[in-house]
Amino acid sequence: MRKLEKKYGQSRFLRRNTVILSFLLMIPVAVIAIVNFTIIYHQNISSTENDLRIASEQKLELMNNELNILYKLVNERRTDTNFYTKSQSDLTVSYYAISKTLAKDSVWTSFFDSVNYYNRESGLIYTYNTVKHEGEFLGQSQGERDDSLTGSQYSTRSLQLTAADFQRLQRTGNEIRTMRVHNVGEGNGVLIAAPLELEEDQPPASYILFTISDKTLENLWGSTKGASCLLLYNDIPIYDSDPAVREDIYAARSLSALYNPANTLTYRYKANGVTVWWRINKFLLIENLIPVIFLETVVTFVVMVLGILLILHASRRSYEPIQHILQRLSVDGTQEKFVDEFKCIDYALDDLAYSKRFLEESNQEMRREKYLYYILDNQVESGSALEQQCLRAGIHVERKYFACILLEDTQENYTLFETLSAMEDKDTENLNVYSLYIMENKYLFLVTSDLPRRELTAFLQKLSQENEDFVSVSEVVGGVQNIRSAYMSIRKFQPEEPGAPAAAEYPQLELQSLQEAVEAENIDKVEFSLRMIKNQVAGYNETIRGAVLMAVCTTLCQGESGRAKELISKVPGLDVQTVCQAIDTWFTAFLKHADEKPLPQGKHLPRNLHTILQYIETNCTSPVFSIKYMAAEFGTSPSNLSHQFKKATGQTLSRFIDELRIQQAEAMLAAGDPVNSIAKKLGYSTTPVFTETFKRLRGVTPSAFRTASLFGKNGESK
């Protein structure tokens, strides 16, 4: 029953989350809809503007070509004496000559509905087939056609011109006059009156009258839903795609209402006196976009809902382990459970990412420190595998010149320490700095550079000028094989008592490094310090050897003076071979003494120690695993971590780690795995290191153990 309730509760919780997420999806969907609308709206406006510009340029060019024909005809008629008012005394003769010319001109003016001649002084208007009085032709009075004058039996439909526009034809001025008229073709149109005989300070004596029907202009400029165009000639409106506006132009009413910026977009283009003014209704444009945006919004919402449902369905099984984890976390019940759980997950992921990054940085530092031991001990050769490992660790051993800097006290010379530390964090093209901790406030820095020797020497001298009492700088040496000589040249020791060893001989730096390594249980550093001491034993006199031997023994005995004196008393002599053998023996005893106590069974460990044990079991086979790395992971120092571990378990941390690795190695060897493959899988740097560790803990080599295991299996099978 409880299982059903639990399952039902989880399903209800997931359904509730699904509903909540579906509603929350409305927010991004609404944002997407608004963004899409804005983008499409401005794209449409931009596209419309571009289309209108191209179309306007083409149509204005076409219209100007037709107007050029008009100008050409007017200029030709100004040289034709038949169109002079003074030569029109005989109406019949004049009509025949003028009508014949007008009929010929109409062939070349297909854009215009008609071409007529207006003798303003006589008040007669000549067409290609008749003559009418101006009042009758322009719709100002009801005149009668005089067939006796024209001899034509065809009637011509009269134009309908407003009185105000008719008066414009009678005014002084030689400019072309344009106006709206009725009865052009099958509808209305535009009248263009071009002065023919020009008079100074007088109205023109005659005009050539051109008419353009609205149908012709409509075919040219077209009509688009939501867009209207107004045509102007010399800034005087003559045509609009809206019939109502055309009537307003005819009646000379104001057109200011057409250009309301609140609901109208306007675009204006002009060429040679002809202007087209486009108007686009914003609301109509928006109305056309709403169905498209609505459809996109619905599709987006449906797709997102289906996507979240699929994700929730696929992650339901994955979410159950997270539920178990979150049940162990303290979540404030007064707040929304759904939000708090994901906050906990977010915090956990952030902490994991930070820990991983911190672990990687700490491991990089540990590997670099380990390789620095090899470099100072002159174990790195050009072209060797160890050189490649140093390069991968970020140590530029391929550079031309090297030098060592020893800071006796970082507190007394903090500025220089800070400068060198800052240089260590930077990977420059010609110079790099690497640090090695000795003990307390003492640090050793290795400088690698491709700078010229003189320039590098001057740079190092400048660094040490401020506080020479606490800084030692070696000479610049060439080649990685000479770094050891640079290191040896900066060892200092000031005797505190009369008769103490000379400064140039006593290995104080190595002994300090050994002491710190023993306290921190850093086996690599202990081995390095002892190796450096043994390499120098041959250059010591017996007094120095005795002092060094006593210091090494006291340090490895971890301050137990009685035990140290007992071991010293057993040393048969102070020759080089005897001293080195004694140091090796003590080092082996030091390792065994640290490893001799087994892990107690059934002992209750602190909660944090359980976490440490679990961490070791999970990561001990990683190539980047180390005590310092693990200490950084748990926010403590390597020495403190080792001390607390030994205090709680009675066993050293390094012994525990080695024991875990060797136990796994035994299983792999029993399965017949190669030794080199096992060493790599368990995180050992080299196969010899693995072999030495295995032999130290088990008393036999890995190969011998594997042979014995396989032989035992074969015997049992028989």
Q: Clarify whether residues 497 and 620 are in a common domain.
A: no
Widest CA span in the chain: 162
Q: Clarify whether residues 167 and 237 are in a common domain.
A: yes
Stretch 555-559: mean pLDDT: 81
Q: Clarify whether residues 140 and 192 are in a common domain.
A: yes
Q: Clarify whether residues 475 and 621 are in a common domain.
A: no
Q: Clarify whether residues 507 and 617 are in a common domain.
A: no
Q: Quick check: is 532 in a domain?
A: yes
Q: At 378, is the secondary structure helix, strand, or coil?
A: coil
- Averaged confidence pLDDT in the chain: 78
pLDDT band at 143 (very low <50, low <70, confident <90, very high): very low
Q: Clarify whether residues 509 and 554 are in a common domain.
A: yes
Angle at the Cα of 331 (from 327 to 334), degrees rounded to 5? 130
pLDDT tens for residues 238-259? 999 888 898 999 988 888 777 7
Nearest Cα neighbor of 360 from 619, 184, 713 is 619
Q: Clarify whether residues 539 and 390 are in a common domain.
A: yes
Q: Quick check: is 295 in a domain?
A: no
Phi, psi of 264 (to 5 degrees): -135, 135
Pick the residue with more confidence: 322 or 301? 301
Output the pTM of the full model.
0.42
Pick the residue with more confidence: 346 or 198? 198
Query: Rounded to an integer, what distance in angstroms lies between the CA atom of residue 574 and that of residue 616?
Result: 43
Pick the residue with more confidence: 534 or 13? 534
pLDDT tens for residues 441-457? 678 899 999 999 999 89
Give the range among 40-44, 160-164, 169-173 with minimum mean pLDDT: 40-44
The CATH number of the domain holding residue 645 is 1.10.10.60
Domain count for the chain, please give it: 3
pLDDT at 574 over 60: yes
Q: Clarify whether residues 591 and 612 are in a common domain.
A: no
Q: Clarify whether residues 539 and 659 are in a common domain.
A: no
pLDDT at 678 over 80: yes
Query: Rounded to an integer, what distance in angstroms lies between the CA atom of residue 549 and that of residue 564?
Result: 10
pLDDT at 395 over 60: yes
pLDDT tens for residues 182-211? 988 888 999 999 999 888 888 999 999 999
Query: Rounded to an integer, what distance in angstroms lies between the CA atom of residue 238 and that of residue 254?
Result: 13
pLDDT at 324 over 50: yes
The CATH number of the domain holding residue 248 is 3.30.450.20
Would you state the pLDDT for residue 26? Answer: 79
Q: Quick check: is 680 in a domain?
A: yes
Pick the residue with more confidence: 716 or 309? 309
pLDDT at 438 over 90: no
pLDDT band at 717 (very low <50, low <70, confident <90, very high): low
CA distances (Å), 404 to each of 451, 475, 637, 667, in order?
Answer: 15, 8, 26, 46
pLDDT band at 7 (very low <50, low <70, confident <90, very high): very low
Give the range among 196-210, 354-368, 568-582 with minimum mean pLDDT: 354-368
Would you state the pLDDT for residue 49? Answer: 83
Stretch 526-546: mean pLDDT: 82
Pick the residue with more confidence: 607 or 112? 112
Q: Quick check: is 207 in a domain?
A: yes
Query: Rounded to an integer, what distance in angstroms lies between the CA atom of residue 277 and that of residue 9?
Result: 68
Q: Quick check: is 158 in a domain?
A: yes
Pick the residue with more confidence: 419 or 61? 61
> Other C-beta atoms within 10 Å of 17: how many?
17
Q: Quick check: is 24 in a domain?
A: no
pLDDT band at 68 (very low <50, low <70, confident <90, very high): very high
Q: Which of 282, 312, 347 is the last residue of a domain?
A: 282
pLDDT tens for residues 700-713? 888 888 888 876 65
Q: Clarify whether residues 505 and 583 are in a common domain.
A: yes
Pick the residue with more confidence: 403 or 493? 403
Would you state the pLDDT for residue 645? Answer: 78
Q: Quick check: is 18 in a domain?
A: no
Q: Quick check: is 520 in a domain?
A: yes
* Domain that residue 698 falls in: 607-717
Pick the residue with more confidence: 116 or 564? 116
Concatenate the DSSP letters of all residues of 605-654 into one string: PPHHHHHHHHHHHHHTTSTT--HHHHHHHTTS-HHHHHHHHHHHHSS-HH
Stretch 565-583: mean pLDDT: 84
Q: Clarify whether residues 535 and 635 are in a common domain.
A: no
Left (φ > 0), alpha (ψ -120 to 50) or beta: where does 290 sit? alpha
Query: Rounded to an integer, what distance in angstroms lies between the CA atom of residue 306 and that of residue 446?
Result: 61
Query: Rounded to an integer, what distance in angstroms lies between the CA atom of residue 155 and that of residue 143?
Result: 13
pLDDT tens for residues 278-317? 888 877 777 777 888 888 888 887 887 787 777 767 766 6
Q: Which of 574, 595, 616 is the last residue of a domain?
A: 595
Stretch 314-323: mean pLDDT: 65
Q: Which of 595, 620, 641 is the last residue of a domain?
A: 595
pLDDT at 60 over 70: yes
Assigned token pair, 484: 């050891």
Percent of the chain with pLDDT over 90: 12
Pick the residue with more confidence: 690 or 353? 690
**What is the separation of C-alpha 531 from the centre of its chain, rounded to a whole number of angstroms?**
51
pLDDT band at 502 (very low <50, low <70, confident <90, very high): very low
Q: Clarify whether residues 381 and 412 are in a common domain.
A: yes
Kindly state the helix (H) or strand (E) to which residue 695 belongs, with its residue range.
Answer: helix 687-698
For residues 525 and 517, is the Cβ–Cβ distance under 8 A? yes
pLDDT band at 61 (very low <50, low <70, confident <90, very high): very high
Q: Which residues contact 383 (CB under 8 A, 6 or more apart)?
A: none
**What is the separation of C-alpha 505 from the centre of its chain, rounded to a whole number of angstroms?**
59
